[in-house]
Structure 1
């Protein structure tokens, strides 16, 4: 059944597919892509400004929490938005999520202490998680199935521009206006973008209640958030302290993931469970590489922060290229073929990228590998979003898209904490071995992506 749906999703229609910028869909598309772009800009800009923020607020001890907190609370936002969208439609969770996101930005922007800023970041994560799931449900309820690949390709494009200019603009804002405006400028643009969605949200009704809606999942989401936060903090520690934090965090995450994700996800059952599992596995491989690549390029290959940032942007350009191809390809490839091809390209790309550790490797070769890794991820990421909506009844689109993004958040947090702890063990000794171990973990995850892609 699932293969029939996948093939139908990939096959070209007999009638021309309307453009996502046609009059009927233009405002909705622009509003959604604008929100995605602003969220991407905020994430990258804050990352660039955070060293200055922590210094001025004397908050270096809470530096890791300022980042890990958003990831942790996004788990709660995703779960709440998924259940509310299935019961009431996506309008309410989107507006509430946007309200939390803006409130968090304002609180962080006007913060006078680091604890106040961290609280703002927690609210940001809660709102961002809710908005991301709500937007996916809007896509499922508003756009015909044949148009969804192009919508998700547009979402990827919404990330590319912030990836290219976000850190640079953030530096200019910090230098000339002050770090507070990195937080305060986004609400001024987010509200007009969201208002473009009002007509579409009025037309999207709530489906019949689903039997899968269960208020107990909120408790599991809070547990997963606590586990993710503890895991992130533990990954910054060393020795027995790290072990004392990582072990219970992993146990708590495993238990909560078992309860939050669809049945069979952790067992890689064919169909939708494998779709959701693959999102976490592939995202962990890509973002794990991305986390260590700037450090490798600056510390071992002598690149300046600016050039290392430009090199990192090549992965974003590759991602966008792959995403555009999956949304416009005319060869009739099935989603499974796109997934397997993308996973194989990621394997090759990660191997080539890891060779940057060796000084004899031409830098252009390693960066070409990183671009190829991004291209493979561009084929995978939107294809999984399309498949999740295609394989979900309308009454379960919110829960399933929530699970898709939960899988990514939990898997990436786990991978970064484990790989970061291993790397820290070798930082003062054989650092080359530390790099090799971290990239070996990412390669194993990429190979696992090939295996799981064949089960969809």
Structure 2
């Protein structure tokens, strides 16, 4: 019964983090207009993203050192307080400050929840727990925009921010009950070296990602050459800073944890960068209504949830999940790209995105499970933070680069789908490397290489 309460609390908390993301994205245009801060619109997103990168890195090390309770409850408090500040903000500047606190708190929560799973649930239950986590993100993406739209139109945008802290308190009480008596306290005996440097590099990484966000917002006609400079500068900063936050060997797809982190970034980057353009392409180029175009994304969300459910019941096995899932992402993006051709029936878009959603639904939670399996005791927080930082930054880079390609090609949808297809194919190529190689020397046949903690240090 206690573990059921814990599972309910974990899923509720993850759902609130996801709901907040969807809610802010939906309500922010109204917020910026009412507060008179349209010029600060982008900062409301990039500020929260920057804080979340720092919070993810710090939270991972904190959870490894002291256990997940302290970062979890600190994160819950920061998440709720930041949203309350934003909801009561008299100006855009105050709202951005609230978003910064909320982003930092939400990041602490996300990484702490991974460590709770690692310490409380047996390894055999990890697939089911992470399938629930995936569903906790998918469901808000389906119903969140409509609910937020109704709240914004009837009660006002402030209630979009203020209602979530109330729900957070309720979810926190359920989680508190579930955590009672669970073995989550304690961690490493001494702090891992280099924490201050890690946090500093996280801040630099956030700056690089922010530069790319701003650069992608105005590239192309009328954007000015300075937008291209921002994109190039952001890429340069990330090339130096990001590898310092990821397992060694991630960018060259070293076997084990580095490839797990790399595949998560490529899969998420390909999916989200394509998804951004799908409704726009279907409306502007193929003439679908907003509702009809939105139903395409709903189909993908439903198949994502169904595939996550199958993953939780280990229907296919981890290797098949990654290979089949990565292949389906690539196939779905390829077919969706074909929809840009007028001769292809627009109805093809619906099964295309269902296939893509099913693929990401297999890949996404499987990589979460593998991250914990490949983590030595006391490293679950750091490795989980690397997984989440990689996913976040890869997605920002993917959306920024494809947005720039779209503008440069003159509404070049084909360029977006070609770039996302290349990312998906790269993910398919490295999927087999997410597993440790069999030992070829001494030891029993089939023995694996050292655990991912050793791979991450030497890989």
Q: TM-score, normalised by structure 1?
A: 0.90
List aligned pairs for 1:247-326, cutoff 5 A: 247-326=232-311
Q: Where does residue 207 of structure 2 map in the other structure?
A: 226
Distance 1:273 1:26, change over 3 A: same
Give distance in 1, aligned partners of 2:142 and 2:243.
37
Give distance in 1, aligned partners of 2:119 and 2:247.
21
Q: Is the 8 A contact 1:272 1:391 kept in 2?
A: yes
Q: Which moved more, 1:156-165 or 1:370-379?
A: 156-165
Q: Where does residue 360 of structure 1 map in the other structure?
A: 343
Q: 1:435 aligns with which of 413, 416, 419?
A: 413
3-state secondary structure, aligned to 2:378? helix
Q: Where does residue 196 of structure 1 map in the other structure?
A: 174
List aligned pairs for 1:140-159, cutoff 5 A: 140-159=118-137
Residue-by-residue CA offset, 1:208-234 (whole Å, 9 max, x unaligned): 347745222111111111111122111
Residue-by-residue CA offset, 1:380-409 (whole Å, 9 max, x unaligned): 000000000001012100000000001101
Q: 1:37 aligns with which of 12, 15, 19?
A: 15
Q: Where does residue 111 of structure 2 map in the other structure?
A: 133
> How far does residue 359 in structure 1 lie from its aligned partner after superposition?
3.0
List aligned pairs for 1:437-452, cutoff 5 A: 437-452=415-430
Q: Where does residue 379 of structure 1 map in the other structure?
A: 362
Q: Is the 8 A contact 2:325 2:358 kept in 1?
A: yes
> How far does residue 302 in structure 1 lie from its aligned partner after superposition?
2.6
Q: Where does residue 14 of structure 1 map in the other structure?
A: none
Q: Is the 8 A contact 1:354 1:366 kept in 2?
A: no
- Which runs of 5 or more structure 2 residues have no equivalent in the other structure? 435-459
Q: Where does residue 451 of structure 2 map in the other structure?
A: none
Residue-by-residue CA offset, 1:109-133 (whole Å, 9 max, x unaligned): 1112222222222222211111111
Q: Which moved more, 1:443-452 or 1:157-166?
A: 157-166
Q: Is the 8 A contact 2:409 2:415 kept in 1?
A: no
> How far does residue 356 in structure 1 lie from its aligned partner after superposition?
2.4
1:208 aligns with 2:191: no
Q: Where does residue 198 of structure 2 map in the other structure?
A: 217
Give distance in 1, aligned partners of 2:192 and 2:259.
19
Residue-by-residue CA offset, 1:172-225 (whole Å, 9 max, x unaligned): 101110011111110001112122222426531222347745222111111111
> How far does residue 78 in structure 1 lie from its aligned partner after superposition?
0.4
Q: Which moved more, 1:117-126 or 1:344-353?
A: 117-126
Q: TM-score, normalised by structure 2?
A: 0.90
3-state secondary structure, aligned to 2:194? coil
List aligned pairs for 1:18-37, cutoff 5 A: 23-37=1-15
- Which runs of 5 or more structure 1 residues have no equivalent in the other structure? 1-22
Name the count of aligned residue pairs.
Answer: 427
> How far does residue 415 in structure 1 lie from its aligned partner after superposition?
1.0
Q: Is the 8 A contact 2:14 2:133 kept in 1?
A: yes
Q: Where does residue 123 of structure 1 map in the other structure?
A: 101
1:50 aligns with 2:28: yes
Q: Where does residue 61 of structure 2 map in the other structure?
A: 83
RMSD: 1.6
Give 4+ residue runs of structure 1 displaced > 6 Å after superposition.
none
Q: Is the 8 A contact 1:91 1:201 kept in 2?
A: no
Q: Where does residue 239 of structure 1 map in the other structure?
A: 224
3-state secondary structure, aligned to 2:249? coil
Give distance in 2, aligned partners of 1:65 and 1:359.
38
